[in-house]
A and B are shown apart, each in its own frame.
Chain A
Amino acid sequence: MSASSTDGLLSAVSNDLAAAVDTVGRSVVAIHARRRIPASGIVWQPGVVVAAHHTIQRDDDITVGLHDGTSVAATLAGRDPSTDLAVLRLAEGASAPPVAPATEPPRVGQLVLALGRPGGSVTASLGIVSALGGEWRTWQGGTIDRFVRLDLAVYDGFSGGPLVAAAGRVIGVNTSGLARATAVTVPASTVTRVVGQLLARGYVARGWLGIATQPVRLPPALQRSLGSEAETGLVVVNVEPDSPADRGAVQIGDILLALDGRPVSDPGDVLAALGGERIGQTIGLRVARGGRAESLSVTVGERPRARG
């Protein structure tokens, strides 16, 4: 029997997994910012920790437990509910190494570990990447660069912890705050983008028109008179006073057909066209009003912060 050779293989795999946990685990911290058990966080840059927004239940009196057992004070640099990310700055002198983000995209079937530190010691679960998809939008309007579905068990306090490739690179940040009954991984590229904005501004700016819309079917007669083949438009059901849309003469009852030349058929299409980079730019709106197509132009504003 070749017991010794295969026995060695299993131990080698086991050692690799434990080494990945040990390496990345030094950057995984405990976040004390809520009652009950602490949540997890990751040292993303020197002195900067990423956590899950929904686990930061107070803005002050936040402490962070490091891998060496020490506890340090942290201040909230900002939060972005739309991607469920928050950024903390550690008190000066805290020594914890930052993680190395993965450079290769994840693959379906890849062995991955979810790490957490809901207390003093690091915890691990093993699973695989079960499905991948393209960019998607959270229910609060945040843009996540890549959809990552896991076959992996997650436990209390793992939110804010990393998804780790067996080679020790961080694929992203896990959270239970973006989908019901399942864990979601926010990819490293999205985390880095949001961290940059939160450190610079304290929040993630989003474009804003100031309209509320809902989909409406365009009757064939209207399609003909508009010279349009689109079957659905977005009827404007509210225009906020003094909003960019109000200043651009958008009216309740207008049917929005296209933004910037791109057809829209879902309110999400409007959100998608309003990234922070559009603030201050003028965009063209094609609307149906009184059975005729009209072109309007609106200067995109910044979404008021109280709106989340």
Chain B
Amino acid sequence: MPGVDALLGAVPALERAVGEVAARLGRVTVHVRADGRSAGAGVVWLRDGLIVTNAHVAAGPGADVELPDGRELPARVIARDPRRDLAVLAIATSDLESALRADARGLRPGELLVALGHPFGVSYAAALGVVHRAPSAMRGPAGWLHADIRLAPGNSGGPLADSSGRVVGINAMIVSGLGVAVPTHVVERFVREALSDRGRGGGARAA
């Protein structure tokens, strides 16, 4: 049966490929804990301790971040925007591996996506799906990246990545069964704003 032989080659290779993307994401994905319990996930955005997560995950002035290597560090919320559902956390460390990124506006419907997070408290669980609708010009969440992928509470703040493992969005909500992620270009702008505010001492506003 030639069909079976073909499967034996292609499917394990595909499974390895998904596993490698998940492993790559696992090295840049953190746990974010608030009040001692797991609130969601986060993504290492800059190697010197800058973490991006959802505003609804980091709801208070501080949080704890557990790194993939198991270290748990206190984090300071240096910027927070409920409208974009984003927060930037700072932890006192450096030499972290940071996430590779790609612009979600270049995605086409049907492209494969991999999400990593802690759905229902299961640490570092991966999900496979496709682009349902690429980000559009619509304002707010309606214009964000919509994914046909199975997410759950605990995926919030975690990465949504393309088939090369580059982060294209931060998973933020589930709407009518669709995963909705803040696209990377919105995150980049938010992080730039947060860093320039911090330069002017504006971080106190969020605290």
User: Please, how many residues of chain B have a CB less than 8 angstroms from a CB on the other chain?
Assistant: 29
B14-A11 in contact (CB<8A) = no
- The total of Cβ contacts below 8 Å across the A-B interface reads 89
Q: How far is the CB of B164 from chain A (nearest CB, A)?
A: 6
Q: Say what secondary structure dominates the interface of chain B.
A: mixed
A121-B134 in contact (CB<8A) = yes
B110-A18 in contact (CB<8A) = yes
A14: which of B16, B112, B136, B178 is its contact (CB, 8 Å)? Answer: B112
Q: How far is the CB of B194 from chain A (nearest CB, A)?
A: 31
Residues of chain A from 139 to 166 with CB closer than 8 A to chain B in the complex: 153, 155-156
Chain B residue at minimum C-beta to C-beta distance from A1:
B20
B109: which of A1, A6, A15, A25 is its contact (CB, 8 Å)? Answer: A25
Chain A residue at minimum C-beta to C-beta distance from B107:
A18
The CA-CA distance from A301 to B73 in the complex, in Å, is 81
Q: Contacts A13-B112, A124-B109: A6 and B148 contacting too (C-beta < 8 A)?
A: no
**Within 8 Å of chain A (Cβ to Cβ): is B17?**
yes
Mark B residues whose CB is within 8 Å of A: 10, 13-14, 16-18, 20-21, 108-112, 129-134, 136, 146, 148, 162-165, 176-178
B18-A153 in contact (CB<8A) = no
Residues of A within 8 A of B14 (CB): 6, 9-10, 13
Q: How far is the CB of B143 from chain A (nearest CB, A)?
A: 11
Chain A residue at minimum C-beta to C-beta distance from B109:
A124
A123-B129 in contact (CB<8A) = no
User: Please, how many residues of chain A have a CB less than 8 angstroms from a CB on the other chain?
Assistant: 31
Mark A residues whose CB is within 8 Å of B: 1-3, 5-7, 9-11, 13-15, 17-22, 25, 113, 115, 120-126, 153, 155-156
B163-A13 in contact (CB<8A) = yes
B20-A7 in contact (CB<8A) = yes
Residues of A within 8 A of B13 (CB): 5-6, 9
Residues of A within 8 A of B17 (CB): 6-7, 9-10
* A–B pairs, 18, beta carbons within 8 Å: A2-B16, A6-B16, A7-B163, A9-B13, A10-B14, A10-B21, A10-B163, A18-B108, A19-B110, A22-B110, A113-B130, A124-B109, A124-B131, A126-B129, A126-B148, A155-B132, A155-B176, A155-B178
Residues of B within 8 A of A5 (CB): 13
A21-B176 in contact (CB<8A) = no
Q: How far is the CB of B21 from chain A (nearest CB, A)?
A: 7
B110-A20 in contact (CB<8A) = yes
A156-B176 in contact (CB<8A) = yes
A9, A17, A121, A125: which has the most chain B beta carbons within 10 Å?
Answer: A125
